[in-house]
Chain A
Amino acid sequence: MNPPNTPDDGRRPTAGAGAAPPIVEAAGLTKVFPMPAGPVVALRGVSLRDDSGESIAITGPSGCGKSTLLHLLGCVDTPTEGSLAIEGRDASRLSDFERSRIRLTKIGFVFQRFFLLPMLTAWENVELPQSEAGAPKTARRARTRELLDYVGLADRAGHKPSQLSGGEMQRVAIARALANRPLLLLADEPTGELDEATGEQIVELFDRVNRDGTTLVVVTHNPILANRARRVLPMRSGRLIMESPASSIVAREEGA
């Protein structure tokens, strides 16, 4: 079975090669939402570094800032303070179009509510980001077939989202997120709308995606999904608190 990012595709060195910049590196991210009733501070100086091939789970109570952090990492929002670098490039210096381009080609998004286009088939949903990225038709066809096969939905290619179950929709959404071979896959509560058994299939799939070389950041309440991650980052009130000991930033930095 073809992985989403084959190690031999030669696009980037694998984890631990040393010289390459981290895929994302956030320093002192703060996000304040000015509201009529007073500013809401969603993030308070979050620093995070995500190297190639890693998997991170961000957990924490509702409203602690997980989605906000994910949106900043995914370049769909800008921090009030702090800096973010994508592959060493300062994200604050990028135009809206360049940020779109980075999201299109380097970052994949998986949403709690799937957000598949309801009028398109599974195949078309997976093909859409590829045509937006300008991939030639034959390459798109091969990649779409490969991905639907990868998520186990080769036989549902012609089905529309309304004809798929929640788990199947999320698998199509994961295939879509992987369409342009992103370096980083971001997922916000990807099992939030699914029952436990279905959620577990999705957990398996994320695990496989990560093993096959895609760096992963998942925001989740799901302990099974969180525990599969190499690093678990609990959050409280806009701050990352201590990491799970197995893979703390401190431990990594000491080892480096």
Chain B
Amino acid sequence: MTPLGLAWRSLSREPVHAALGVCGVAAVGALLFNMLLLSRGLLVSFKDLLDSVGFDVRVMASESLPTLGPPVEHATEAARAIRALPEVEEVVPMRIGRAFTASAGRPEIAIILVGCEPRGRGAWRIMSGRNLSRGQKDGGGLPPVEARAPEIVVSKNLAKALGLEPGSRLRLRAAVDGGASAIPAVEFRVMGIGEFAFESTEEATAVTTLSALRLARGGTDEDEADLILVASRKKHGAAAAVAAIQGLRPDLHAFSNEQLVSRFSRTDFSYFRQISFVLSSITLFFAFLLVATLLTVSVNQRFGEVAALRALGFSRRRIVTDLFCESLLLVGAGGILSLPIGAVLARWLDTILRTMPGLPVRLHFFVFEPRVFMLHATLLAFTGLLAAAYPVYLAARLPIAATLRQEVVS
């Protein structure tokens, strides 16, 4: 009989003890699983969010987040120069402004109005209707685009709030410097309804072309961008593109997605990592206590048998292996059981945390990565081995003759 087989039989002789142990490890393991998902969840989710837009480099005028710092001046020229770099595949300048709805008889709603070429499509996904038309500038036989109502894609939130659907009209008044202005409202044609990667549940977003945004802002001839999205060429990669852009325009700040994520991981998201570390450690300590107690009690009850096995020629190593196997079985069964429990729990906690205001809809706190499996299993296995250490020590040090004698005398 293999040590694992014997360990299984040993555990099954006290099925209630074993079941309690497994349940305890499962509960603790579920918490551990959650803490591991939480520790990097926001980062992974944030990286996914950045990647989902389809651009791997972002260029801004300062180190601040877009709209919080100064805009990039002469954006068209900057975009053209960046696009000419051999490391760069595509460049899309973006303007992020605010506007208020101006529908007669309805309350004003503050919205985020993004000006962007349709090529920036990754930042939103069309749910119904269609996207902004490409190449509006060379309208061919059509009347000049500004003569017709400019196109707009609105977010689900906005569509729902105003009952918009593709084909609807939407009047917007651009906000300048944060407040409503005397600029006349502009009527847009709703082309489609989209999902915006960075929109939060209580925000409303719409995207139109840069030129339409400029028009809405009163036709000022500003040529600024809050953000320039850059896609690197595959064979060069984001890092090379960042270096090339910095070389070309040292006054601008270019960040790859990895750089943005690591910036956040150092600052804003480090709370979760710290909380997760503390709670994981406590969790593992509970698992340790539980398994160590169970095994110690069980070994204490079996001293006679252990001594008899030793007298029959079982080596110390074999006895030790059997006990480690018992611990690993408890922890293994509990650990496997903890995964579905942990998954359900993570979902639930994620839902709770995501009700926090101002979060992009697609940002999650608990995010699964394959490495979490590995880490979870490794930590639990290590805890199992550590928890077995004391009972193993007791069994290994057991004086055979004295124990056999005691068992008869007692």
Contact = CB atoms under 8 A, between A and B. Distances in A.
A118 B304 CA distance: 12
Contacts of A71: 400-401, 404-405
Given A71-B401, A118-B13, A96 B313 contact: no
Contact of A117 (B2, B305, B316, B407): B305
A192 B409 CA distance: 12
Interface in B303-317: 304-305, 307-317
Nearest to B304: A115
Contacts of B318: 132
B1 interface: yes
Interface residues of B, number: 28
The listed residue with most A CB atoms (<10 A of its CB), out of B13, B304, B308, is B308
A133 interface: yes
Given A115-B305, A189-B408, A128 B401 contact: no
B12 interface: yes
A189 B408 CA distance: 10
Nearest to A106: B313
Query: What range describes how many residues of A lie at the interface?
Result: 35 or more
B9 A119 contact: yes
Contacts of B315: 96-97, 100-101
Contacts of B1: 120, 124, 127-128, 131
Interface in B353-410: 399-401, 404-405, 407-408
Given A117-B305, A118-B13, A132-B318, A103 B407 contact: no
B316 A76 contact: no
B313 A101 contact: yes
A94 to B, nearest CB: 12
A111 B314 contact: no
B5 to A, nearest CB: 9
The listed residue with most B CB atoms (<10 A of its CB), out of A67, A101, A129, A132, is A132
B76 interface: no
A97 B317 contact: yes
B10 A104 contact: no
A119 B10 contact: yes
A7 B154 CA distance: 97
B313 A115 contact: no
The listed residue with most A CB atoms (<10 A of its CB), out of B312, B401, B405, is B312
Contacts of A96: 315-316
Nearest to A103: B313
Contacts of B9: 117, 119-120
The listed residue with most B CB atoms (<10 A of its CB), out of A117, A124, A129, is A117
B312 A177 contact: yes
A219 B6 CA distance: 31
Contacts of A124: 1
Contacts of B307: 115
A113 B314 contact: no
A68 B401 contact: yes
Interface of A: 67-68, 71, 74, 76-77, 96-97, 100-105, 107-109, 111-113, 115, 117-120, 124, 127-129, 131-133, 176-177, 180, 188-189, 192
Given A77-B399, A97-B316, A103-B313, 14 more contacts: A67-B401, A76-B404, A96-B316, A97-B315, A97-B317, A100-B313, A100-B314, A102-B313, A115-B305, A115-B308, A119-B12, A124-B1, A176-B312, A192-B408
23 contacts: A67-B404, A68-B401, A74-B311, A76-B311, A77-B399, A77-B400, A77-B401, A97-B315, A100-B313, A109-B308, A111-B311, A115-B407, A117-B305, A119-B12, A120-B1, A127-B1, A128-B6, A129-B314, A131-B1, A131-B2, A132-B314, A133-B313, A189-B408
The 7 A-B pairs with the shortest beta carbon distances in the complex, nearest first, are A104-B313, A115-B308, A77-B401, A103-B313, A119-B13, A71-B401, A76-B400
